Amino acid sequence: MAHGLRLGLVMMTHQLRTRNPIDRTTRLSGAVPAVAAVMLMLPFVAGCDDEDPVVVDAPPFPPDGAFSVTGDGVVSLFWNPNQEPDLAGYTVYRGNQAPEGPYFFLADVSASTTNYDDFEVNNGDFWYYAVTAFDVAGNESELSRDLVFDTPRPEGFGLVLVELGQDPSQAGYDFSSLSNSSQAASLSTTDIYFENTGGVNYVVAADPLVDIQDYGWIDLVGVDYAPESGWAPSKRVEAIPDHSYIVKIVDGQGDFNMAKFFVVSVTATNVEMDWAYQAVENELELSRIAPIGGAMR
C-alpha cells in the first residue's frame, strides 16, 4: 500500500514539473492544489514505512537585476545569472497592460545567457518585460520582481552640421525628420544649429521653445532619462567631443519631445554627432537603462 501511494506521489510530482511557459497562469493555478495534496499526503507516506518522504523539487529563484536598454526598433534586456546547479535556462515575457501583467511568452534562452534583444517592437510602442528561470526538471520560477518597461525610439549616427558662417543651408537639424540630413538654420522646423563665435564652437537652440543642456562626459546610451531642469539660459552649449547633450522641443500647445546627441568630433567648420529622438510626446525616456523600480538616475 505504501509503495502504491509513493508511486502516486511521484506521478503527481512529475506533473508539477511539466513546464508550459505560454500559459503561465494556468500552470501556476493548477500547481497549487497539487502541491497542497502532496503536502497533505506526505505524513501518511512517512508513517507507512521507514523511508524518507517524497520531496517535491523546488523551482529556481526569480532572476534579479533585470533592466532594459532602449534602441531603435529594439529593446535589449539584461539580468543577473541564477546560481542553481540544475538551472536549464530562462524565459522572457512581455506585456503592455500593467506592471502586474498579463505577460505573454516571448522566448526561451540557455542557462549561460543573461540577455535578450527584442526586435519584435515598433518605435513608440510601450512594453513591460519580465524574466523567469527554469531548471532541468521543468520547474519555473516566479516572474522577476524588477519593474522593467521600455519605449523604443529612433536614432542615427554620423550626422554632420556645417558651421553657420561657412554654409547656413547645412548648419541646422530637425530631430523629427528622423534622418541624417542637415538643413538650413533659418527653417521654422530647425531645432538646433552649429556656430563658431569668438573662436568657440557652439550648438545653439534654434527656437525660443527649444531648450538644450550639456550632460557631460557620458556616452549616448548612458543618457537614460531626460532631466526636468538644468537648461542653458543662453540657449547655447559649447560643443565638446565625447560629451552628450539633451534637447527639449516644445510645441505651441505645451507638449514636448525629447532628443539627445553625442559630439563625435568638432572643428571650427563642422561638427559630427550621433543622435536619438523620442517620438512619443511628453515621454522623458531616452535610453532606458533604469534599474529596479524604473527609478530615474
For the stretch 139-192, pLDDT in tens is 999 999 999 998 888 899 999 999 999 999 999 999 999 889 999 999 999 999
Ramachandran region, residue 124 (left: φ > 0; alpha: ψ -120 to 50; beta: rest): left
Q: Determine the pLDDT at residue 151.
A: 85
Distance CA 22, CA 89 (A): 15
Q: Determine the pLDDT at residue 2.
A: 38
- Predicted structure pTM score: 0.64
Q: Give the SS3 label for residue 8.
A: helix
Q: Determine the pLDDT at residue 52.
A: 54
Q: Give 55's DSSP letter.
A: -
Q: Determine the pLDDT at residue 16.
A: 33
Q: Among residues 245, 278, 295, which one has the least CA distance to residue 72? A: 278
Q: Determine the pLDDT at residue 284.
A: 62
Other Cβ atoms less than 10 A from the Cβ of 96: the count is: 12
Spans of the chain below 50 pLDDT: 1-48, 54, 287-297
- Apex 293 CA angle, 88 and 213, nearest 5: 120
118 is written with which cell numbers? 527584442
